Amino acid sequence: MRIVFATSLVPTLPTDSGFEIANRAIVECLIRLGHDVQIIGFQWPERETQFPDQTHTLAELDVKTDNASGKQKLVWLAQAVRSNTTFAAAKLQVLQHGAFGKALDALKPFDALIVNGIPIAGAFEEALSRYPFIYVAHNQEALAAEHAAENAAGMVEKLMYQRETRQLAKLEARLAKTAKSVLAFTSDDADAMTKLGARASHHLPLVTPPTGEIQDRAGARPIAFDAGMIGTWTWTQNRIGLEWFLQSVMPLMPEHTRIAVAGSLPSVFPQRDKRVTLLGRVLDAKAFIRSCRVSILCARAGTGIQLKTLETFELGLPAVATASSLRGIGEPLPDNVIEADTAEAFAAALKQHIVDVRTGSARDMDGTAFRAHQMSRMDAVMADALNVFTKSMSA
């Protein structure tokens, strides 16, 4: 099949955010299944496209809210209100609907259209809805916005997230009912889309990008920190987990503990604990995680799968994880992963796990079987979703 993959951000290198990792995984899955994939969307400035021969870039665009000036944020908000759409969708509307529609039409003929995520769907809903499509639901977006509103830093932020919740709820319901099929990354999200009226919903397992690193599973790895975590902390749902760990778990940890936090942080994020090192963005996420004795998986809000959890399991690393971090991951958990949901239980498990890894009673595992199983399931579910789409077109 010739498939058009419409996305807010085309896959680029380096692949670091969860959204980008998921995008790349879906495109690589479609290619593994033998399909001709054409990608259309915006591109991060000064980034190299992952699939240059198949990518049709609409424009270069930096959509990070945290990097934007106050003036730019007001422009986006005004556009969202004027277009009666979401804040994320408004960021993409530097291109008019007609121009986007022409760019999409230029890729014809194609057999299937995949609409990847809610920002592109909200920005160009009219143009995309002219074609039958499969919708990729990265999260339960309205629910995630509701969680963000509950944890907002101030009244203005709370009101903005409450507006987003209302807009996203309406948009998600339309997408669920209009799409021929929906792909979601957890069974809970797939069930939620079914309740919104989706004709067919599929739980699509994911894998992280392959690495060329040869890992000595039986031998020692270079250790720089007792434990560490990585994520896009500018995203509110992720930051809720980080704040919970810093405020509720760290006070219960021993004085000598060395913790590292890697990934993009808000522009104003002070160093609060001498035991915690804020590294910012790192060049090699997997190398960083492998430099920590234990991986910290501390999600407390949001929906969708946690890509950092997948990465940890694929690397076979010891971890302590909240229930929210494990959403979308099937049982059984790897033997070197401990689930803990209260601050007291999390701190106790983390302290013990660090000691166990240091003394050798807890070890790395071979995560290749986990990754192979995930990939096999992903390919099967994607093939089934495309089959459902094809049958719906001929019905």
DSSP secondary structure of 354-365: HHHHHHTSS---
DSSP secondary structure of 211-276: ------SSS-----EEEEEE--TTSHHHHHHHHHIIIIIGGGS-TT--EEEES---SS-----TTE
Nearest residue to 340 via CA among 348, 352, 332, 328 = 348
395 Cβ contact partners less than 8 Å away, ≥ 6 residues apart: none
* Residue 359, pLDDT score: 83
* Residue 211, pLDDT score: 61
C-alpha dist (Å) from residue 308 to 153, 215, 314, 380: 25, 18, 10, 23
Q: How confident is the model at residue 270 (pLDDT cuts 50, 70, 90)?
A: confident
> Once rounded to an integer, what is the mean pLDDT over residues 258-285?
89
261 pLDDT above the threshold of 50: yes
**What's the CA gap between 332 and 265, in Å, rounded?**
33
Which has the minimum average pLDDT: 211-215, 377-381, 385-389? 211-215
Nearest residue to 122 via CA among 152, 162, 75, 79 = 79
**What's the CA gap between 88 and 302, in Å, rounded?**
16
**What's the CA gap between 361 and 384, in Å, rounded?**
42
Q: How confident is the model at residue 256 (pLDDT cuts 50, 70, 90)?
A: very high
Range among 153-162, 234-243, 274-283 rated most confident: 274-283
* Residue 200, pLDDT score: 94
> Once rounded to an integer, what is the mean pLDDT over residues 166-176?
96
> Once rounded to an integer, what is the mean pLDDT over residues 46-75?
88
Predicted confidence (pLDDT) per residue in 323-377, tens digit: 999 988 876 788 899 999 999 999 999 999 999 888 887 788 888 888 898 999 9
Predicted confidence (pLDDT) per residue in 179-230, tens digit: 999 999 999 899 999 999 999 999 999 998 876 443 444 456 889 999 999 9
> Once rounded to an integer, what is the mean pLDDT over residues 48-57?
94
Reading the block at residue 235, the tokens are 């995203």
Q: Please list the alpha-helical segments (H only) found in the chain.
A: 18-32, 70-83, 87-92, 97-105, 118-123, 125-128, 141-150, 155-178, 187-195, 236-244, 285-290, 307-315, 343-359, 368-394
Neighbours of 291 (CB within 10 A): 17
Q: What percent of the chain has pLDDT over 70?
A: 96
CB of 80 closer than 8 Å to CB of 45: no
**What's the CA gap between 167 and 87, in Å, rounded?**
9
> Once rounded to an integer, what is the mean pLDDT over residues 240-262?
95
**What's the CA gap between 290 and 41, in Å, rounded?**
33
Kindly tell me the sign of the dihedral angle through the C-alpha atoms of 220, 224, 228, 229.
negative
DSSP 329: P
DSSP 111: S
Mean pLDDT over the full length of the chain = 90
Burial 297-322 (b: 16+ CB within 10 A, else e): bbbbbbbbbbbbbbbbbbbbbbbbbb
**What's the CA gap between 277 and 218, in Å, rounded?**
28
**What's the CA gap between 257 and 274, in Å, rounded?**
10
Q: What percent of the chain has pLDDT over 90?
A: 62
* Residue 93, pLDDT score: 92
* Residue 216, pLDDT score: 44
* Residue 220, pLDDT score: 66
Predicted confidence (pLDDT) per residue in 77-95, tens digit: 899 999 899 999 999 999 8
Predicted confidence (pLDDT) per residue in 133-147, tens digit: 999 999 899 988 888
**What's the CA gap between 129 and 175, in Å, rounded?**
9
